[in-house]
Amino acid sequence: MFGILTSTGKVPYISLDEFIDIDRMKYFNRYFEKQLYDKFLNQLNPPEYLKPFIEDKDIHSVFSTYYDDITLKQSWNLIHTYLSEFIDYLYETLMEDIGGFFILDEVDGTAPNFHRDWGEDTTGDKHEKEGLVPTEKESRKTSENWIWFKFSDSKKLYVSDIDGKNDISKRIPVKSYGVYFNGLDYHGSYNDSHGFSVRLHGNLKDSVIEKLGLDD
């Protein structure tokens, strides 16, 4: 397992719960439902520029910021318009800046496959063709560490070394509402996982890095 490096050694992941309010995260579960469905997707008379997004009906595609420059700008405009309260909360508590932003509303029974980013088994990713499986030294240069949030107990995440790829019993359950983990380790969910989650790239506040003992 590549894991996360800290001043006291390598760990599978780091909880961010000490920096966030769990009741506030549960509030955001209702907030996402209201903002994304009631206010965004279900608009009766949307302006023309929003129609392609709304007709897509795919939350994680609409609000993801991993596309071309035009779509990236449009996605960030949507995020700031419809999710400004959540973004403000992240800047208030954890984040110095935010790069990539990915929202997933996972329906019960559609849990993501267990996978590793940039791995040879990453379906639909450009790195599949490259067959990139970096060494641990190389992995530290890829910035594949993710910050991940869930907003209810029904949304689940597991991480593991390769031995957990096909063996559920070897996977480590992530119980935290906020977590910092290495996307080059196997991760995903299964069974009854469902609900909102957000995965993002960005820089944590220096005070958070220091308190967590993160070792870059």
Closest CA to 64 of 78, 50, 48: 78
The pLDDT confidence band at residue 130, using thresholds 50, 70 and 90, is very low
Closest CA to 104 of 51, 157, 171: 157
The whole domain housing 157 covers 4-212
Backbone angles phi, psi at 49, to 5 degrees: -70, -20
3-class DSSP state of 175:
coil
Compute the Cα dihedral for 84, 54, 100, 191 and give only its sign.
positive
Q: Count CB atoms within 10 A of the CB of residue 205.
A: 16
Count the domains in the chain: 1
Model pLDDT for residues 83-123, shown as the tens digit of each residue: 999 999 999 999 999 988 999 998 766 666 788 886 655 55
Q: Residue 66 sits in a domain of what CATH number?
A: 2.60.120
Average the pLDDT over 181-210 and give the result: 91
Task: Give the whole-angstrom CA distance, residue 47 versus residue 166.
Answer: 46
**Residue 199: pLDDT over 90:** yes
What is the pTM assigned to this prediction?
A: 0.88
